[in-house]
A and B are shown apart, each in its own frame.
Chain A
């Protein structure tokens, strides 16, 4: 079992990926943080090597967060997935959980909540 945990952050909003990257590289656990700007790019990274946790936006050009979540839950069921979205609704939340999301957060979210969750899963 590897000690270094892997976290993937997927969002087409660069401010989000950059800020989250900065937040998680200072993690108390040994964690490799990778960012992707689209669903397709994320899926490539995942196929290269699985991740422990994936944080993904929903609305992205091309492959959206739902599709990425579906593929992850089918092929990498052990990966924890956190959905973050600015286009939230009750229906989207229900759909995300139905597909297998581990957490659903609406933007702007509290980064401490996100960090606690990720570190708890990684530790």
Chain B
């Protein structure tokens, strides 16, 4: 089982990646520096075969994609180094393993294998999911082609695959933002349309009101109509604030000040609900460059969710730290990369936790598990953080609690 610490590391590493994507418009591509070392030069047959063997072996093992060879029956006969890294098995463990075991969806594997037995069939850039040895599922982009012998008889299949889990997560994030923007626009349009008839109802009711005296029961009923219209309008106004946030007014801000402000606002509620507040801030934190009001709204929302998640009391913890990451992933470069800084805010509760199956949906607009919720809070948080050039992520364990991670850009003089 993956420890909470590992999951936190994984989320922070993913945040690094996403933050870098936003902060660095076009990272330098140093991959082009890949070696084009020469093919074996000897032409002596005795030495040529071993040389060729080593050459191809080296190429196959060093390509940055997993490669599997599968025989007629679907057993793995060969795995390159990258395949063992991506799948978490040793080469020996993979040897003779039924390839279906690697697929998260066994039926899909059987279908693919059947398909590839058809003459001339190839699969290119198929997105599928593999299960690693530790049970974790990764998304891969897979190419598959049949291996035929000299007489063109089907002998097996080669599978070439790349781990695109992070890419898929980024894509989902983008889709979510686009969906959110679209729904926001639509909903705001509808909300405006509602204000027109509301205006008509209120005006007509007020005119009608003048026909009665204070004592008439009709007056009281009309007053109720007017009050309800005002209530509906107030709701709409709140909604506009969420659905169409104004463009951020960027300024250098002390994040601790925002957190303290929100804490003070909610202190009576925390006390009443027996929730302990713990803040751990790294000393000498740099200022962040964000819209203060908008980030305050995000923190307020996360605190309120945390409070709702701890009806029996608990601990609300905020950790603030400075993070420095290379501007370009150094594992991909030959040189030292310039550094990029952000401030990481972690808001954790010891509450009920969020079930794994709904975790990917919590940032979706109108998704809610609360009886009285509208389902806009977290989707707006996500939108506001993105508009402030930050990133947001979450990890949760049922019965133990939830942590939200927010990466915010640092103010540069």
Interface residues of A (CB under 8 A from B): 13, 15-16, 18-20, 22-23, 26, 84, 86-87, 90, 106-112
Asked whether B197 is an interface residue with its Cβ less than 8 Å from the other chain, the reply is: yes
A-B contact pairs, 7 of them (CB 8 A): A19-B203, A20-B203, A26-B210, A86-B193, A86-B198, A111-B202, A111-B207
Contact residues in B for A87 (Cβ distance below 8 Å): 192, 195
Alpha-carbon distance between A22 and B198 when the two chains are bound, in angstroms: 18
Asked whether B196 is an interface residue with its Cβ less than 8 Å from the other chain, the reply is: yes
Distance from B74 Cβ to chain A, minimum over Cβ atoms (Å): 62
Contact residues in B for A18 (Cβ distance below 8 Å): 204
Contact residues in A for B203 (Cβ distance below 8 Å): 15-16, 19-20, 23, 108-109, 111
Contact indicator B204/A15 (Cβ below 8 Å): yes
List 20 extra interface pairs beyond A20-B203, A108-B198, CB under 8 A. A15-B200, A15-B201, A15-B204, A18-B204, A19-B207, A20-B207, A23-B203, A23-B206, A23-B210, A26-B210, A84-B199, A86-B192, A86-B195, A86-B199, A106-B195, A108-B195, A108-B202, A108-B233, A109-B199, A111-B206
Alpha-carbon distance between A16 and B157 when the two chains are bound, in angstroms: 73
For chain B, give the interface size range: 10 to 19
Across the interface, name the chain A residue whose C-beta is closest to B189.
Answer: A87
Contact indicator A108/B207 (Cβ below 8 Å): no
Across the interface, name the chain A residue whose C-beta is closest to B198.
Answer: A108
Contact indicator B207/A15 (Cβ below 8 Å): no
Kindly identify, within residues 207 to 236 of chain B, every residue whose CB is under 8 Å from any CB belonging to chain A.
Answer: 207, 210, 229-230, 233
Contact indicator A108/B204 (Cβ below 8 Å): no
Contact residues in A for B229 (Cβ distance below 8 Å): 108
Distance from A122 Cβ to chain B, minimum over Cβ atoms (Å): 18
Distance from B175 Cβ to chain A, minimum over Cβ atoms (Å): 28
Contact indicator B206/A112 (Cβ below 8 Å): yes
Q: Contact string, B115-149, partner A, CB cutoff 8 A, digits 1/0?
A: 00000000000000000000000000000000000
Most buried by A among B196, B198, B229, B233: B196
Alpha-carbon distance between A19 and B207 when the two chains are bound, in angstroms: 6
Contact residues in B for A110 (Cβ distance below 8 Å): 206
Contact indicator B207/A107 (Cβ below 8 Å): no
Contact indicator A19/B210 (Cβ below 8 Å): no
Q: Given A86-B195, A108-B195, are A23 and B200 neighbors across the interface (CB < 8 Å)?
A: no
Alpha-carbon distance between A61 and B233 when the two chains are bound, in angstroms: 24
Alpha-carbon distance between A4 and B201 when the two chains are bound, in angstroms: 30
Alpha-carbon distance between A71 and B373 when the two chains are bound, in angstroms: 47
Alpha-carbon distance between A106 and B156 when the two chains are bound, in angstroms: 72
Across the interface, name the chain A residue whose C-beta is closest to B233.
Answer: A108
Q: Contact string, B227-269, partner A, CB cutoff 8 A, digits 1/0?
A: 0011001000000000000100000000000000000000000
The answer, among B198, B207, B230, for a CB contact under 8 Å with A23, is B207
Contact residues in A for B233 (Cβ distance below 8 Å): 108
Q: Given A23-B210, A26-B210, A87-B192, are A107 and B198 neighbors across the interface (CB < 8 Å)?
A: yes
Contact indicator B201/A108 (Cβ below 8 Å): yes
Most buried by A among B195, B230, B246: B195
Contact residues in A for B193 (Cβ distance below 8 Å): 86
Contact residues in A for B206 (Cβ distance below 8 Å): 19, 23, 110-112
Most buried by B among A20, A86, A106: A86
Across the interface, name the chain A residue whose C-beta is closest to B229.
Answer: A108
Alpha-carbon distance between A111 and B246 when the two chains are bound, in angstroms: 29
Contact residues in A for B201 (Cβ distance below 8 Å): 15, 108
Distance from B23 Cβ to chain A, minimum over Cβ atoms (Å): 30
Q: Given A19-B207, A23-B207, are A108 and B192 neighbors across the interface (CB < 8 Å)?
A: no
Alpha-carbon distance between A107 and B196 when the two chains are bound, in angstroms: 7
* Closest 3 A/B residue pairs (Cβ): A107-B199, A15-B200, A108-B202
